[in-house]
């Protein structure tokens, strides 16, 4: 009997009926449907290491830039507010549009990656990300151009990078999948910490235009070689555009809804910590340092909770993290997102002091607690 025949027999044993994978074995169905089909076909030979760590390193470098620049937007935003380019609520929309593209283009990117492969998608994403930053350097005085360059061009690049780094670790890791994903996204938090501090210094010495231009050049210079390191272990197979059968599961629907709700306050602290420090009459360097501390703690959390996911299951850890996030807002986190930005303006703006920030705090905290309650129902 040939090796191919043995592998095909093992594959048949792994296959489950659609109803069973999407409803009965809910957590298993998520992992099966979250990665290209070829990764499922070769589940019996997942190396849990080896060349997988090279791919993880490439993904980590890319995540350093696309997550790091997103998390450091608040530092640039504060400088642009000081220069009178626009208000905080409008500029928060610019950064939020970048993040929103991840969700808006998720289905389209899933289709693209099955057609051209993860490596080419990574090349394209890094190119758009770095180019968007360089183009934004020539548009720092025009809020409309910032929407086009930072919001759209960088947003599309960010969405492509996110798709790439989300599917590659799952092809190489099974038992250590949480750890691998934790390392990849911890790099993004470390990038946010480093870029925040570097950006503050660049803004002080060279101004917003050159700060964006330098970060864009560095993104292209290191991100493109990192994209070359990304190799798919097995090519993805074309599937239906959207597998609507997943939505026949109430548990999937609740988890999907919790993800939508929990995303709203996700970028609240890094976007507005610098503005909050400014309202407290603190130096800009203090705001950048606060963002760096936030990102560094995020790096530790992503690795730590990645390990815990491998031990206790992703749904259990998701519930714990959302609960902790919701409780922590009550202790005094700031504002964020477009909605919280308008809430801040309605209650007196940055000049209104801590009282103006409190309604936005409770908005963000309630969103996290609401998402946690949905995850608890799924569990």
Cα angle, residue 305 at apex, residues 300 and 308 outer, rounded to 5° = 135
pLDDT of residue 23: 38
> CA quadruple 180, 184, 189, 193: dihedral positive or negative?
positive
Tokens linked to 49: 């290491």
**C-alpha closest to that of 34 among 113, 122, 142:** 113
Fold of 47-378: Growth Hormone; Chain: A; (1.20.1250)
pLDDT of residue 372: 63
Residues of the chain with confidence (pLDDT) below 50: 1-43, 332-344, 346-358
Segment holding 177, helix H or strand E? helix 177-205
pLDDT of residue 31: 41
CB 191 within 8 A of CB 105: no
Q: Where are the domains of the chain?
A: 47-378
Report the C-alpha gap between 134 and 138 in whole angstroms: 7
Report the C-alpha dihedral over residues 223, 264, 294, 311, rounded to 10 degrees.
-80
**C-alpha closest to that of 62 among 162, 152, 141, 139:** 162
Query: 353 to each of 81, 85, 163, 318, 328, how far by Cα in Å?
Result: 17, 22, 39, 33, 20
Please compute, for residue 190, the number of CA atoms within 13 A of its CA located in the half-sphere on the CB side.
Answer: 15
pLDDT of residue 118: 92
What is the residue-wise DSSP string for 303-364?
A: HHHHHHHHHH-HHHHHHHHHHHHHHHHHTT----HHHHHHHHHHTT-GGG-HHHHHHHHHHH
Report the C-alpha gap between 57 and 106 in whole angstroms: 23
pLDDT of residue 8: 43
Query: 103 to each of 23, 108, 371, how far by Cα in Å?
Result: 24, 10, 17
* Cβ-based neighbours of 130, under 8 Å, separated by 6 or more: 65, 157, 216, 217, 219, 220, 223
Neighbours of 221 (CB within 10 A): 10
Neighbours of 215 (CB within 10 A): 24
**C-alpha closest to that of 232 among 35, 3, 378:** 35
CB 159 within 8 A of CB 109: yes
Report the C-alpha gap between 361 and 212 in whole angstroms: 30
**C-alpha closest to that of 149 among 223, 69, 226, 64:** 69
Could you tell me how many residues make up the chain? 379
Query: 370 to each of 246, 333, 349, how far by Cα in Å?
Result: 22, 17, 26
Neighbours of 237 (CB within 10 A): 12
Write b or e for each residue in 92-127: b if 16 or more Cβ atoms lie within 10 A of its Cβ, otherwise e: bbbbbbbbbbbeebeeebbebbbeebbbbbbbbbbb
């Amino acid at each position: 009997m040939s090796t191919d025949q043995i592998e095909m027999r093992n594959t048949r044993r792994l296959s489950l009926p659609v109803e069973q994978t999407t409803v009965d074995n809910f957590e298993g169905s998520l992992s099966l449907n979250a990665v290209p089909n070829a990764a499922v076909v070769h589940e019996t030979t997942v190396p849990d290491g080896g060349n997988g760590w090279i791919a993880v390193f490439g993904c980590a470098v890319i995540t350093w830039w696309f997550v790091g620049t997103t998390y450091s937007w608040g530092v640039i935003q504060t400088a642009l507010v000081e220069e009178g380019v626009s208000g905080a609520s409008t500029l928060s929309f610019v950064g939020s549009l970048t993040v929103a593209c991840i969700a808006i283009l998720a289905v389209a990117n899933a289709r693209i990656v099955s057609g051209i492969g993860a490596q080419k998608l990574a090349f394209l994403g890094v190119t758009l990300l770095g180019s968007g930053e360089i183009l934004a350097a020539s548009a720092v005085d025009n809020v409309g151009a910032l929407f086009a360059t930072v919001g759209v061009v960088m947003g599309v690049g960010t969405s492509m990078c996110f798709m790439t780094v989300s599917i590659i670790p799952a092809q190489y890791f099974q038992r250590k999948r949480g750890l691998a994903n934790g390392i990849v996204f911890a790099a993004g938090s470390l990038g946010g910490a480093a870029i925040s501090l570097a950006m503050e210094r660049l803004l002080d010495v060279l101004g917003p235009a050159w700060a964006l231009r330098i970060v864009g050049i560095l993104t292209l210079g290191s991100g493109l070689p990192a994209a070359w390191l990304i190799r798919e272990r097995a090519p993805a197979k074309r599937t239906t555009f959207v597998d609507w059968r997943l939505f026949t599961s109430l548990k999937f629907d609740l988890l999907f809804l919790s993800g939508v709700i929990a995303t709203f306050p996700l970028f609240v602290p890094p976007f507005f910590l610098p503005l909050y420090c400014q309202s407290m009459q603190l130096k800009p360097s203090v705001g950048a340092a606060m963002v760096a501390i936030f990102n560094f703690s995020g790096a530790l959390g992503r690795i730590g909770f990645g390990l815990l996911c491998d031990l206790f299951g992703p749904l259990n850890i998701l519930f714990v993290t959302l609960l902790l996030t919701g409780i922590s807002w009550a202790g005094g986190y700031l504002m964020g997102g477009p909605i919280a930005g308008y809430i801040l303006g309605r209650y007196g703006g940055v000049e209104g002091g801590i009282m103006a920030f409190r309604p936005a705090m409770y908005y963000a905290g309630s969103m996290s607690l609401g998402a946690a309650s949905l995850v608890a129902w799924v569990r």
